[in-house]
Amino acid sequence: MSEVDVTTGGRLLDVEDLHVEFRTRDGVAKVLNGVSYHVDAGETLAVLGESGSGKSVTAQTVMGILDTPPGHVTGGRIRYGGEDLLQATEERRRLLRGDSMAMIFQDALSALNPVYTVGFQIAEQLRTRRGMSRKDATARAVELLDMVKIPNAKQRVKEFPHQFSGGMRQRAMIAMSLALDPQLLIADEPTTALDVTVQAQIMDLLDELRRERGMGLILITHDLGVVAEVADRIVVMYAGRIVESADAHGLYARPGHPYTEGLMRSIPRLDLAGQDLATIEGLPPNLMRIPSGCPFHPRCPRAADPCRDTVPEQHDLGAGRTSACHFAEELIKSE
Amino acid sequence: MSEPILQVRDLVKHFPITRGVLFQRTIGHVRAVDGVSFDLNKGETLGIVGESGCGKSTLAQVLMRLEKPTSGSATFEGRDMFAMKGPELRKLRRDMQIVLQDPYTSLNPRRTVGDIVGEPFEIHPEVAPKGERRRRVQELLDVVGLNPEHIHRYPHQFSGGQRQRIGIARALALKPKVIVCDEPVSALDVSIQAQVMNLLGELQQEFGLSYVFIAHDLGVVRHLSDRVGVMYLGRMVEVGTGEQIYQHPQHPYTQALLSSVPVPDPALRGKREVIRLSGDVPSPADPPSGCRFRTRCWKAQDRCAEEAPALEVRLGEHPAACHFAEERPQLLA
């Protein structure tokens, strides 16, 4: 195993300039166009973006579960504990999955196998990967279900996924993903399908487990509220690029990219009931025909000449913040 | 206050649970909607919030007369909706329209946008004579912010937000008075959601529409609604103006719901009062006795198990169905 010292809050994962394209019958969609981010042990990185921004594809590429075809990695590096995962053998990556990094998904019902008990599915990896006996593995599965606060875990371990409620299934998924003590957990829209009262329970649980285990957590979501409550750092994605990267407080206090600004203004807030919501005009781009220059320029209220033909670099805004906007500095300074 | 256009009283919809193939017998009921009353005034938006399984969509189906109510009554402009038939029912079908959640499955993929938006005119030819239909459809597309030239396109050629606009155009075709919106923006991305919400607001102003706006997102409901009703397991637990419900919630469930909504402001992290409900919503096939929320309520006492609390004004100015209703402000910030 490649062990990273989690106690020091060391760098766990470094994604550098990742490019992925989907080759389909209709053409080539450039899904990721140079994505870079990193996660340290014990921190929560939120990846924020709308459908089609590439947030899930990045995670799938990191996990090594990208469907190929149609997906092809065309460039970049994924460093995990000093090792480039894109160069690693499939066998090596299989060993890393579960042991070092694990992932949970939005739809826990389709992520679980309907014909096996929840306990069997948790115990299975303990048996194959840790060589535990059926009895020991099941006992451990009960402990894990207990850890994710499923009441009456001894009974529940024998039940099938359809006997669990939505929130319970997501808890079971979390238990399963943590069975082999990974250092990195990727949660892809873990609460999107859940009701708000249950969502709050699950987010609390994830946050607690991250703290206890010193795990790195990548939280993929489109919900600006959820992000504000748990994230340490945030990267905002648009059309397969990172448009802004900042600490949570800084980002919400003053967005450094017009897209982030637009997103913030378009959420209906409970505490600010207004008449008209600000909107981002137009639609996200078709990834087969990404606009020239800054991909956001056709929808951007600040778009000027350079935006139409020059792809903006990442502007360093200090304090660990970057923004891929030609006018990033002005945005941060302006009121 | 203007007069109510829709009055609903003690509406109940139970679905039988049956067992057996040849000899079906009823072994229980899912109490999807179990005694809901409200008024919808002309030109106003009544928001209905609640979590999955609380009966809000069944309520929409019953209001549209797509499902027969088990009991209870509803009047539209003073006339009994459920007794209507013949020409009167046809008129009602014109006056009340619905916009559904999923813009992907609620539009027929084999028909063009023109066919979809124009179909209501086939059934109600009195609204637009044949020669005028194409023009009417194009007008409607324009009203909802779509390009009228796209009348010959198919639904798959549009994005999710645009499809929802098509659904709205279809609902507007017959110049309805009431539109029931069943989670109209839940499937959309934030930036698109805001566009559709603004559109719904503009259309209301322009055509004097009344909305029953059903959603699980408290922020969305707050934004569009004049009054809000909170549902839990088939019952309305609290009704009031946006201000009353969001700033002065009295029912413990409303309070918990508001406290659970993440606020997009990291500065408030750890500073808000947090109420975390334990467990899940009980099954509507076997709801708890007395107050349905008591199994998850921190205030529950013996009385709650014995006596179902009525939805009535106990303090302040708006009704809440809790024996121990009390105000708890500042849940939001």
Chain-chain contact of B223 with A274 (C-beta, under 8 angstroms): yes
Q: Which of B190, B218, B262 sits opposite A229 (nearest CB)?
A: B262
Find the closest chain B residue to A286 by CA distance: B159
Dihedral angle computed from the Cα positions of residues A78, A80, A85 and A87, in that order, rounded to the nearest 10 degrees: 90
- Over 50: is that where the pLDDT of A188 sits? yes
Q: How many helices (H) and strands (E) does chain B have?
A: 10, 10
Find the closest chain B residue to A233 by CA distance: B266
Q: What does pTM read for this prediction?
A: 0.84
Chain-chain contact of A269 with B263 (C-beta, under 8 angstroms): yes
| CB < 8 Å to B258, chain A | 270
Chain-chain contact of A266 with B193 (C-beta, under 8 angstroms): yes
Q: Which of A116-125, A146-155, B248-257 has the lowest mean pLDDT?
A: A146-155
| CB < 8 Å to A199, chain B | 260, 262
| CB < 8 Å to B281, chain A | 195
- Over 60: is that where the pLDDT of A193 sits? yes
Q: What is the per-residue pLDDT for B275?
A: 85
Q: What is the per-residue pLDDT for B330?
A: 61
Those residues of chain B that have pLDDT short of 70 are 1-2, 329-333
Tell me the two tokens of residue A127: 């048996």
Q: What is the per-residue pLDDT for A269?
A: 74
Q: Quickly list DSSP for A160-227.
A: -GGGS-HHHHHHHHHHHHTTT--SEEEEESTTTTS-HHHHHHHHHHHHHHHHHHT-EEEEEES-HHHH
d(CA A302, CA A299): 9
ipTM of the complex: 0.77
Find the closest chain A residue to B246 by CA distance: A270
Which of A196, A205, A259 should one mutate to test binding to chain B, selecting the residue with the greatest count of B CBs within 10 A?
A196
Neighbours of B85 (CB within 10 A): 9
d(CA B168, CA B163): 9
- Per-residue pLDDT averaged across A24-52, rounded? 91
Find the closest chain A residue to B271 by CA distance: A229
- Over 90: is that where the pLDDT of A77 sits? yes
Each residue's pLDDT tens digit, B59-78 = 999 999 999 999 999 999 99
Neighbouring-strand partners of residue A35: A18
| Shortest Cα distance, chain A CAs vs residue B283, angstroms | 10
| Shortest Cα distance, chain B CAs vs residue A139, angstroms | 24
| CB < 8 Å to A267, chain B | 190, 194, 219, 264
| CB < 8 Å to A195, chain B | 51-52, 216, 281
Average pLDDT, chain A: 88
| Shortest Cα distance, chain B CAs vs residue A89, angstroms | 37
Q: What is the per-residue pLDDT for A5?
A: 47
Each residue's pLDDT tens digit, A265-317 = 888 877 666 557 778 888 888 888 888 899 999 999 888 888 999 999 898 88
Q: Of A280, A277, A238, A285, give the one whose Cα is nearest residue A263.
A: A280
Instruction: Look at residue B271 and give its three-state secondary structure.
Output: coil
- Over 60: is that where the pLDDT of A6 sits? no
Residues 6+ apart with CB under 8 A from A152: none
Q: Of B204, B259, B212, give the one whose Cα is nearest residue B239.
A: B212
Q: What is the per-residue pLDDT for A2?
A: 45
Domain with CATH 3.40.50.300 in chain B: 4-225
CATH code for the part of the protein at B4-225:
3.40.50.300
Chain-chain contact of A197 with B195 (C-beta, under 8 angstroms): no
Size of chain A in residues: 335
Each residue's pLDDT tens digit, A79-102 = 998 889 999 999 999 999 988 999
Task: Specify the residue for token string 């890393």.
Answer: A96
Which of A204, A270, A299 should one mutate to test binding to chain B, selecting the residue with the greatest count of B CBs within 10 A?
A270
- Over 90: is that where the pLDDT of A334 sits? no
